[in-house]
Amino acid sequence: MQLSARGRYAVMAMVDLAARAPVRSGASSSVPLAEIALGQRISLAYLEQIFCRLRRAGLVLAVRGPGGGYRLARAPAEIAIIEIIRGSGEPIRTTRCRPGGLPCPGSSPALPGARCRTHALWAALGHEIERFLGSVTLADVLAGHPAIPAAAA
């Protein structure tokens, strides 16, 4: 499975933003991006690129002027992790297969659009990962849920 650094950083930064900007009277307070960059040890320039995408995806709002920064566009319980990953512009890839009906690596070159023998397996795994990430919200992550089973940790 491939989840890009951008997707991981977007989730980490959004969790940090949610933790730093508690909701007060219906709206969260803004947090300077530099604080998140420092806290997560992510380049500020890279984080600015990520947050530009997250803003376009409607997940964060930019606040200008003194006390400016970013804030969540919705409550943490209303933002699923899969939205953040998609909003960062990075897909979750579970196959080596090429999109657009091109043949998979390892498939028969004689059959245009042919899929490799393991395509259905990896595609099903991808759907399960997306389903799982769609069921977990920022609020869940902040609360430590879903927790990692002791045997897996």
Whole-prediction pTM: 0.81
What fold is seen in the domain 2-142? Arc Repressor Mutant, subunit A (1.10.10)
- What mean pLDDT comes out for the span 83-101? 78
Residue with tokens 């690129």: 49
User: What residues have CB less than 8 Å from 54, skipping those under 6 apart?
Assistant: 10, 14, 60, 84, 87, 88
pLDDT for 25: 44
Q: What gap in Å lies between CA 130 and CA 114, rounded to an integer?
A: 24
Q: What gap in Å lies between CA 122 and CA 133, rounded to an integer?
A: 16
For 6-30, write each residue's pLDDT tens digit.
999 999 999 999 998 765 445 557 8
Query: Which secondary structure element, helix H or strand E, spans residue 72, and what is its range?
Result: strand 69-72
